[in-house]
Amino acid sequence: MRLRQAAFAAIALLGLAACSQATPPPEAPPSNYSRIVTLAPNLTELVFWARAEELLVGVSAYSDYPPKALELPVVGDAFMIDHERLAVLEPDLLLVWDGGTPAHVVDELRAMGYEVEVVRTNSLADVSQAILRIGELTGRREPAALVASGFEEQMGAIRERHQGLPNISVFYQVSARPLYTVSDAHFVSEIVELCGGSNVFADLGELAPTIDVEAVVERDPEVFLAASDAGEDAFREWQRWPQIAANRYGNHFILPGDAISRATPRLLDGAGAVCDALDEARKRRER
């Protein structure tokens, strides 16, 4: 265990360096591309994690981590793009989010002559693969591989530590109005599972489906989870149904927003918060 922790500590330091350096290391190999624009905040982070941040010339709105990302020009978001600013930046590669950037936007960008790489980040495995792909595109294969393998190893360690714990049922609330949750195709559901919980809406077909209140009451989750950007009163309206197990046990937990919502190695922090919440929820259930 100590060797494993020490190995990841070195990888984490590499990632922190990637997120703080203003210039590339002198030995950095040449990239296939020299001017990259990202159209999702998590993709901006992933470029930093792959130690290719010096190639970034533009980012999407809400690209606020690491702090160096705030210094880069904003070209819009997944839905609305400032084409004049994008043209001025002259990118030779656009990174877009599969499932987040609408398909027609991707088609329009390609029709305008831009080279577009669609990056999938729905699952935990996708996060590793995205880092590896960005490392390949940018000539940063070795540091990207270190970060990806460290991420996988630490997630595996979290799963191992929570094997055999009593199962506890969980409702993850993305937003209250409209009422959104996640299915088992989403990385949040994976994290709940590796912490020894079960997503009560794992069986739904969509990645982030809309549901109704009656469905939540019927499935009677023992835990309510939500990200901090949902607000401190995210669960206030649920008090109208005191019979729900999560209300009886007082199992309402707000998680750190970006750490649980953005598909980057910071999901390790999000997973830690989920596991802590479920551990506390089990204690409350027992009492």
Q: Which of 141, 142, 143, 138 is nearest to 32 (CA)?
A: 138
* Sequence spans of domains, the chain: 2-157, 164-286
Q: What are 147-200's pLDDT values in tens digits?
A: 999 999 999 999 999 999 999 999 999 998 899 999 999 999 999 999 999 999
User: pLDDT-based confidence at 28, cuts 50/70/90?
Assistant: low
Q: What are 203-245's pLDDT values in tens digits?
A: 998 899 999 999 999 999 999 999 998 877 899 999 999 999 9
Exposure string of 132-167, with b = 16+ CB inside 10 Å and e = fewer, is bbbbebbbbeebbbbbbbbbeebbebbbeebeeeee
Identify the pLDDT of residue 11: 46
Q: What are 71-113's pLDDT values in tens digits?
A: 999 999 878 899 999 999 999 999 999 988 899 999 999 999 9
Considering the chain, what percentage of its residues have pLDDT values greater than 90? 83
Does the structure show a pLDDT above 90 at 40?
yes
HEC string of 30-49 equals CCCCCCEEECCHHHHHHHHH
DSSP class of residue 62 equals T
Does the structure show a pLDDT above 80 at 2?
no
Identify the pLDDT of residue 29: 54
Any idea which fold 164-286 has?
Rossmann fold (3.40.50)
Identify the pLDDT of residue 233: 86
Give CATH for domain 2-157. 3.40.50.1980
Indicate the helix (H) or strand (E) that contains 276: helix 267-286
Does 164-286 match 2-157 at the fold level?
yes
Identify the pLDDT of residue 228: 93
CB-based contact 170:253 (threshold 8 Å)? no
Per the confidence metrics, is the pTM higher than 0.85?
yes
Does the structure show a pLDDT above 60 at 20?
no
Identify the pLDDT of residue 51: 96
CA–CA dist 280, 262 (Å, integer): 24
Q: What are 124-155's pLDDT values in tens digits?
A: 999 999 999 999 999 999 999 999 999 999 99
CB-based contact 270:255 (threshold 8 Å)? yes
Instruction: Specify the 3-state DSSP secondary structure of 197.
Output: strand
Instruction: Specify the 3-state DSSP secondary structure of 198.
Output: strand
Identify the pLDDT of residue 30: 62
DSSP secondary structure, 75-103, as one string: -B-SS-B-HHHHHHH--SEEEEEETTB-H
Neighbours of 36 (CB within 10 A): 27
Does the structure show a pLDDT above 50 at 6?
no
Identify the pLDDT of residue 99: 82
